[in-house]
């Protein structure tokens, strides 16, 4: 049986995989687990959501489940995911729930759970919640009368989060005269981005900030950069920032319309932090998918690189364990641990502008600290049996080693099983796009011949 909670919460097609009954049961189970061994404790759980048409429906179901076991709900409405992570700690509540499927299309939705410290729940707690959901909660002794939980709305919560992001900019720094285009992906940043960047003095042009419930991430945001690139060039902006549906990711575009991805944003900020003497242990944490150009940048600048599995939760775990302050993914999910307990796209954006202002350089100049190596990523659908056989097949493994030998120190090969889909993912990097495409196809063909 598939695990209910993946690397980023429970997720599926709303009203199908993720229906109201499941949401209600997750709410009940989460409240029961959070009450723990102290049945007299009345948990308070904060709920926020993104702009999907299904989000309020799931909020109602979650709230009903939470209240039915005697816990209270604080509803904060449309907010970014990092706002929930910040607010649970700021308001001293027991947990937070974000209803969002991040960068996915509107038909998907998800339930992300945060502890009272602002971090995503541990696997252990998620497993406890899942066990209760699987077993069912109908047999629990449910309260009646005054024992039922109540729901309150906190409409000014968004302002507390906005002020928190603004306060992350040091020494009363201002962004006056900087022209910034903001792509809000018709998502959560539609209610926050303009407030944040305008308050800091930037001249802001906002796009894709009119959510209608079904247009979130539709040909906009950090997964579709074309419209922002065109807008930045046509309107002579200094830079553009694109967020995803729940605003925990950020990608950038320089004044010439060139994409600056998450790897480059980490490099820019890590180098600035090192130069200011605030990069803990001179270390940045990235994933196995990070471009090899980042490693070369780090080597040239005396920065140690920590490598984790794909997924922001693994990046964060390593940051916590080692006391590191910056980490993230190529997708733009970047964690500034001094200010946040999860990726925060708008926080990333203001930190980028702060580096530009502090150094007096354009984004194009800043991005030159790291060379991007050509990369190809190809997937192949496989059976469960093929996934199981992949690691032990001598011909497939020898083919991978052969390609590694051919590339030498001019490239790298990463072939891995998908953790969420029945796929094997083949990623190559090198100096020549044509060569790495050819090598990737050779590996795929070997996998087909041997495993399919």
What is the domain-level CATH number for residue 211? 3.40.120.10
First to last CA, the chain: 24
> Tell me, what CATH number does 431's domain have?
3.30.310.50
Is residue 203 situated within a structural domain?
A: yes
Same-domain check for residues 14 and 149 = yes
Sign of the torsion formed by the C-alpha atoms of 159, 163, 165 and 166: positive
Could you tell me the pTM of the whole model?
0.91
Question: Please, is 32 exposed, middle or buried when counting C-beta atoms within 10 Å of its C-beta (0-12, 13-18, 19+)?
Answer: buried
Cβ(221)–Cβ(185) below 8 Å: yes
Shared domain check, 344 and 385? no
Structural domain count of the chain: 3
pLDDT for 389-437, tens place per residue? 998 999 999 999 999 999 998 899 999 888 667 889 999 999 999 999 9
Mean pLDDT, rounded, of the chain:
94
Query: Is 5 a member of any domain?
Result: no
Domain check: are 310 and 245 in the same one? yes
Instruction: Provide the pLDDT confidence category of residue 121 given band limits of 50, 70 and 90.
Output: confident
| One domain for residues 257 and 405 | no
On whether residue 4 sits in a domain, the answer given is: no
- Distance between CA atoms of 86 and 43, rounded to whole angstroms? 18
Domain boundary among 334, 367, 400: 367
Spatial distance between the Cα atoms of 249 and 81, rounded to a whole number of angstroms: 10
Over the stretch 30-82, which tens digit does the pLDDT of each residue have? 999 987 656 678 899 999 999 999 999 999 999 999 999 999 999 999 999 99
Tell whether 381 and 413 lie within a shared domain.
Answer: yes
| Together in a domain, 289 and 402 | no
Measured distance CA(447)–CA(337) in Å, rounded: 40
Residues 136 and 271 grouped into a single domain: no
Q: Which residues are catalytic?
A: 102
């Amino acid at each position: 049986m598939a695990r209910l909670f993946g690397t980023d919460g429970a997720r599926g097609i709303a009203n199908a995989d993720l229906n109201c009954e499941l949401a209600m049961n997750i709410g009940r189970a989460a409240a029961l687990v959070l009450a723990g061994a102290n049945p007299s404790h009345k948990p308070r759980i904060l709920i926020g959501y993104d702009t999907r048409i299904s989000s309020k429906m799931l909020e109602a179901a979650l709230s009903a489940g939470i209240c039915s076991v005697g816990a209270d709900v604080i509803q904060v409405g449309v907010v970014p995911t990092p706002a929930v992570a910040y607010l649970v700690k700021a308001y001293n509540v027991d947990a937070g729930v974000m209803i969002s499927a991040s960068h996915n299309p509107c038909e998907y939705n998800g339930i992300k759970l945060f502890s009272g410290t602002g971090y995503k729940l541990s696997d252990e707690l998620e497993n406890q919640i899942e066990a209760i959901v699987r077993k069912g909660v109908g047999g629990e002794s449910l309260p009646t009368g005054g024992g039922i939980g109540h729901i309150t709305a906190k409409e000014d919560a968004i302002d507390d989060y906005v002020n928190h992001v603004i306060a992350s900019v040091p020494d009363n720094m201002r962004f006056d005269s900087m022209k910034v285009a903001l792509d809000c992906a018709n998502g959560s940043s539609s209610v926050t981005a303009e407030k944040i960047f305008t308050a800091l003095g930037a001249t802001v042009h906002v796009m894709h900030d009119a959510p209608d419930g079904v247009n979130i991430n539709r040909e906009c945001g950090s997964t579709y950069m074309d419209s922002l690139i065109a807008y930045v060039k046509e309107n002579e902006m200094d830079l553009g920032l694109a967020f995803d549906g729940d605003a925990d990711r950020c990608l950038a575009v320089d004044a010439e319309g060139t994409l600056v991805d998450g790897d480059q944003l980490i490099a820019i900020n890590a180098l600035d932090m090192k130069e200011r003497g605030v990069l803990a242990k001179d270390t940045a944490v990235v994933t196995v998918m990070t471009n090899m150009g980042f490693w070369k940048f780090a080597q040239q600048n005396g920065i140690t690189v920590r490598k984790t599995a794909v997924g922001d939760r693994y990046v964060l775990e390593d940051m916590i364990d080692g006391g590191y302050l910056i980490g993230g993914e190529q997708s733009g999910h970047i964690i500034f641990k001094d200010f946040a307990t999860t990726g925060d796209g708008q926080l990333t954006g203001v930190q980028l502008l702060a580096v530009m202002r502090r150094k007096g350089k354009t984004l194009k100049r800043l991005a030159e600290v790291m060379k991007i190596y050509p990369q190809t990523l190809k997937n192949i659908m496989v059976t469960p049996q093929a996934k199981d056989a992949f690691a032990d097949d001598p011909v497939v493994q020898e083919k991978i080693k052969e390609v590694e030998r051919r590339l030498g120190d001019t490239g790298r090969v990463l072939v891995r099983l998908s953790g969420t889909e029945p796929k094997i993912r083949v990623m190559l990097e090198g100096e020549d796009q044509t060569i790495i495409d050819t090598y990737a196809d050779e590996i795929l063909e070997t996998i087909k011949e041997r495993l399919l």
